[in-house]
Amino acid sequence: MPGQPKADMSLGEAAAAIGVSVDTLRRWDRAGKLRTRRDERNRRRVSGEEVQRLAARPQRHRTGTHGSARNRFPGVVRSVETDGVMALVEIEAGPFLITAAITRDSVIELGLAPGVTASATVKATSVMVERSEG
């Protein structure tokens, strides 16, 4: 929150300023993570200083690019296998070997071939992990 902090806020105002739900602030209050006071009507009030303390976040990791994905693996193309409209591109990125299924048109447009430098960007909503037998 830039500028001078507001002296006192309702729980809803504080939640909006911090970027969390009112329920989250209630839980934080019960757990001692948030300092509140009660007004004459027994409503929780939050000081501006407390909101500033909770709204402060560490700076996010910077990738050096304009994209939002943070998992970028620069490397060298090891193989390109095309079949119909699709292709498998294998990139060696340090200790990682990444295989991506992309379109044949993308391979041509990017000029991908063994030995070419390229970056793999991994952006997924979920990752499944399974324990191996053995």
Count how many Cα atoms sit within 13 Å of the Cα of residue 69 in the half-sphere of its side chain: 10
Asked if CATH classification 1.10.1660.10 holds for the domain at 8-55, the reply, yes or no, is: yes
Start-end of CATH 2.40.50.100 domains in the chain: 71-122
DSSP β-bridge partners for residue 58: none
Task: Based on DSSP, count helices (H) and strands (E) in the chain, helices before strands.
Answer: 4, 7
Helix then strand then coil, % of the chain, to nearest 5:
25, 35, 40
The pLDDT, as a whole number, for residue 81 is 96
Instruction: Just give the CATH number of 71-122.
Output: 2.40.50.100
Q: What pTM was computed for the model?
A: 0.46
The pLDDT, as a whole number, for residue 78 is 96
Task: Kindly report, residue by residue over 17-75, the tens digit of the pLDDT.
Answer: 888 888 989 999 999 989 999 989 999 899 989 988 888 766 555 555 555 556 788 89
The pLDDT, as a whole number, for residue 3 is 52
Start-end of CATH 1.10.1660.10 domains in the chain: 8-55
Is the model's pLDDT at 4 over the cut of 60?
Answer: no
Task: Kindly report, residue by residue over 94-103, the tens digit of the pLDDT.
Answer: 898 989 899 9
The pLDDT, as a whole number, for residue 5 is 54
